[in-house]
Chains A and B, each alone.
Chain A
Amino acid sequence: MALWTLFGLRAGRATTAWPARGDAHGQAGVLGMPRFDADKCRDGCRECADVCLPDAIQFRADGEPALDIDYGRCIACQLCVEACPTGALTASNDWALGVRERDDLRWRPADADANNDDGASPEQKLAAGIRRVFGRSLHIRHVDAGSCNGCESELQALNNPFYNLHRLGIFFTASPRHADLLLVTGTVTYAMRDALQATYEAMPEPRWVLATGTCAVSGGAVGGTYASGVGVDPILPVDVYLPGCPPNPAALIHALLMIVGRAEQHMRGGQLDD
């Protein structure tokens, strides 16, 4: 007969100390959103835009540089990095990309934006402060509104012993009545739209919405068909946008901690803080 308790004890502690200490976030090697260096971008070249299936890179006829890059549409497929002849787009391991304003996922030159606050309105800051004082736990109602199941696979991973989400006071709950956060994955298909809306309406206030994964942020590569929507935005107010295809567990944890005011936003104007 298997002695599971003994087996478990013998295995020792599997949980990482990250994010409190250390850097064992478990994402070694994971390729994230490509970085863009406008200085290296050559005029008139549009090879990256031509291979960008979700139109995250669009070629602009006027203006400098000639590219519009929207990380809210990026699926990190790396095809633009392979296509770029000048090294203006390079592979990276960037993943902590949760933002409060959708616009912060759109690339703009770093110096064009002197406003370096965390992107939160005074009301959001106050609300975050209140949450910090009165409670640090977070209960999540997840709704799959038409995903490929990649996001679900990573969300399920949050409860594995390595990430052990419970240690952070964050829990998934079955009932929207008990939930603080609506976590939505998928493009929002026509058939899931009403169920998503009903779940949101069943939640008590204050309530937050996390658009999780590129599909939920913008529809991504598979949005905008006869059956598929273009993300959560047109249907519900979104508090944090987290692109990624799918966002890895560490990125998910970062975005959840952002919701409860325990982590800072790291991306502004399509670029990460140094």
Chain B
Amino acid sequence: MNGVEYMTVPADALRARCQQLVRDQGRLQMIYAWRDADDELEVRYLCAPAKGRAFEMWCCKPVDGRLPSVADIVPLASWYEREMRDLFALEIDDMPQSAPLVLHEGASSEHPPMEPAHPRGQALTFERSEWHAPEIAANGDVQRLPFGPVRADVMESAQFIFYYLGESILHYQPRLFFKHRGLEKRFEGVAPDLGTVLAERVSGVGSFAHAWAYCRAIESMADAGIPPRAEVIRTLLGELERIYNHLHYFAHLASTTTLYVGDAQGRLLEEKAKQINAKLTGSRFLRGIVVPGGLRRDLALDGDVLGDVRALADEAAEYLQHLESTPSYMDRLIETGVLSRDVAYDQGATGPVERASGLDRDLRRDHPYSMYLDIPLEIPTDDRGDALARARVRAAELKQSFEMVKRLARLNLDGPVRTDLTVPALGAGLGWVEGARGSLYYAVHTDAAGRLARVKIKSPSFSNWRVFPFTMHGGDIMDYAINEASFGLTIAGCDR
């Protein structure tokens, strides 16, 4: 059904299935728990088998409230398992890591917060308690540097603890989820159309991709087709989102390598991209456009906006060329924050990060949707795995996005941009989009009244934050900011 095959997997067969998946070079994409219509807890494992084959959704019922951990087979499962334990109090046997993930120490509630028994608007009780960083058994030379959650400049909140000897980092421990807003619970009981407005606010700089993936989940549930003109505009807006994000990325990278004119120029290009977004859609973040069934209104893809895009494409190309011919910048990126192919695979890296470590995956090509069904896409990859490889993959994507926008705007199809759709009661749907930072999934369930019963959000940064610390060990303190910038991480989408 709609690119997803649903299948029941008994709890005692789960580990064998995971082993088989790994042998077949498949990928686990997401795990989530929910309470089904019979009020039974169920855990769903979203898997991508070999390329070109439909996603598999394994539906698995815990036995006596317990499931076996699969994190020793598929390491990236660890975060999902810890999340389910925090939010649903699901017991998982033999977890390799068992510390809380999403809920901080000191947070408590009478019922697990994602269970229906916990009222939606009721706050957690929270008592500040001492958090203990891992002990490092070493002599007194090891220094410990806690950093955050309030960080310098204008940054998202998170805490990082460094253990280092001289310049060399021994251990890096990120502590995320300070920004956890309980968004998945916020969706519950909301009308499906209005859910789009919430999806736009999960991660501001991924507003469009989130809303698009959410709408695709609703559309797959309603089995609705989208008018071609709406598909063209959606795809174009998705690429515009990639453009302003990638331009921001290069400015940030120039800033961390202390290339001040390069930083300023990158920020100016990003600003121009955002102003184009505003003129086209009324929102610098491309909000308020997409809705289940198509678009909320038609957009004029006329010469004015296109002229701006063309001019920006030329400026961006020149800018990228300047960066590539700056030895001081290149010097800081080469060999910085190397992510091996194996670690990228095991820990679930996604987007430009995994493609820069030699993994050739992109949902736009491997599970195509919208205009990507018709327009072939060259997916840039690199196998060096360092900060330079990540920058080069993004540079190639940026050029391609400009070409896509020009090409899509020329199509200029006529017709409506919205179809009416009926969202079924007790329905389920999966939506996916390859955003600027990687793969993004929404699994959506409706209740008996056709309102949202469960919305699971998997943002690309949830994967890439899990991967990032693996590139730190043995690295230098002075390269940290460059490495973090080269990952292009956001925190809001990860924390939700």
Interface residues of A (CB under 8 A from B): 1-2, 4-5, 7-8, 11, 14, 26-31, 51, 53, 75-79, 82, 91, 142-157, 159-163, 172, 174, 186-187, 189-195, 199, 220-222, 224-229, 245-246, 248
Q: Which residues of B contact A155 (CB under 8 A)?
A: 154
A219 to chain B, nearest CB (A): 10
Interface contact A51-B156, CB-CB below 8 Å: no
Q: Which residues of B contact A7 (CB under 8 A)?
A: 261, 265, 322
Chain B interface residue count, CB cutoff 8 Å, equals 75
Interface contact B267-A225, CB-CB below 8 Å: no
Interface residues of B (CB under 8 A from A): 104, 107, 109, 113, 118, 120-124, 126, 128, 149-150, 152-157, 177-183, 185-186, 190, 193-194, 197-198, 200-205, 207, 248, 259-262, 264-265, 267-268, 270-271, 274-275, 278-285, 287-288, 296, 321-323, 325-327, 490-493
Cα–Cα, bound, A190→B492 (Å): 15
Q: Which residues of A contact B322 (CB under 8 A)?
A: 2, 4, 7
Q: Which residues of A contact B326 (CB under 8 A)?
A: 1-2, 4
Interface contact B267-A189, CB-CB below 8 Å: no
Cα–Cα, bound, A28→B260 (Å): 28
Q: Which residues of B contact A199 (CB under 8 A)?
A: 150
With A162-B268, A189-B180 known as contacts, the answer to whether A222 contacts B124 (CB < 8 A) is: no
A-B pairs with lowest CB-CB distance, top 6: A150-B204, A225-B182, A160-B267, A31-B282, A174-B152, A227-B182
Interface centre among A30, A77, A148, A195 (most CB of B within 10 A): A148
A85 to chain B, nearest CB (A): 17
Interface contact B325-A8, CB-CB below 8 Å: no
Interface contact A152-B155, CB-CB below 8 Å: yes
Interface contact B280-A29, CB-CB below 8 Å: yes
Interface contact A161-B153, CB-CB below 8 Å: no
A-B CB contact pairs (8 Å), 6 listed: A28-B278, A149-B492, A153-B204, A224-B123, A226-B182, A227-B181
Cα–Cα, bound, A226→B397 (Å): 39
Cα–Cα, bound, A9→B177 (Å): 43
Partner of B194, one of A79, A144, A225: A79
With A7-B265, A7-B322, A160-B270 known as contacts, the answer to whether A222 contacts B181 (CB < 8 A) is: yes
Name which residue of chain A comes closest to B207, CB basis. Answer: A150
Interface contact A156-B154, CB-CB below 8 Å: yes
Interface contact A149-B203, CB-CB below 8 Å: yes
A6 to chain B, nearest CB (A): 9
Interface centre among A77, A194, A226 (most CB of B within 10 A): A226
B255 to chain A, nearest CB (A): 10
A94 to chain B, nearest CB (A): 13
B276 to chain A, nearest CB (A): 9
Name which residue of chain A comes closest to B324, CB basis. Answer: A2
Partner of A28, one of B104, B124, B279: B279
With A153-B285, A190-B107 known as contacts, the answer to whether A147 contacts B204 (CB < 8 A) is: yes
Interface contact B121-A225, CB-CB below 8 Å: yes
With A148-B202, A226-B109 known as contacts, the answer to whether A51 contacts B186 (CB < 8 A) is: no
Q: Which residues of B contact A245 (CB under 8 A)?
A: 201, 287
Cα–Cα, bound, A41→B166 (Å): 69
Interface contact A149-B204, CB-CB below 8 Å: yes
Interface contact A150-B285, CB-CB below 8 Å: yes
Q: Which residues of B contact A29 (CB under 8 A)?
A: 278-282
Cα–Cα, bound, A227→B126 (Å): 10
Interface contact A187-B181, CB-CB below 8 Å: yes
Interface contact A195-B157, CB-CB below 8 Å: yes
Q: Which residues of A contact B104 (CB under 8 A)?
A: 190-191
Partner of A221, one of B118, B198, B267, B327: B198
Q: Which residues of B contact A91 (CB under 8 A)?
A: 282
Q: Which residues of A contact B120 (CB under 8 A)?
A: 225-226
Interface contact B153-A174, CB-CB below 8 Å: yes
Name which residue of chain B comes closest to A91, CB basis. Answer: B282
Cα–Cα, bound, A78→B448 (Å): 29
With A5-B261, A189-B180 known as contacts, the answer to whether A28 contacts B275 (CB < 8 A) is: yes
Q: Which residues of B contact A172 (CB under 8 A)?
A: 153-154
Interface contact A147-B259, CB-CB below 8 Å: no
Interface contact B150-A82, CB-CB below 8 Å: no
Q: Which residues of A contact B281 (CB under 8 A)?
A: 29
Interface contact B178-A222, CB-CB below 8 Å: no
Cα–Cα, bound, A190→B248 (Å): 30
Cα–Cα, bound, A77→B113 (Å): 28
Q: Which residues of A contact B150 (CB under 8 A)?
A: 143-144, 195, 199
Interface centre among B154, B190, B288 (most CB of A within 10 A): B154
Interface contact B270-A192, CB-CB below 8 Å: no
With A150-B204, A153-B204 known as contacts, the answer to whether A161 contacts B264 (CB < 8 A) is: yes
Cα–Cα, bound, A115→B125 (Å): 43
Q: Which residues of A contact B283 (CB under 8 A)?
A: 30-31
Cα–Cα, bound, A151→B490 (Å): 13
B159 to chain A, nearest CB (A): 9
A167 to chain B, nearest CB (A): 13
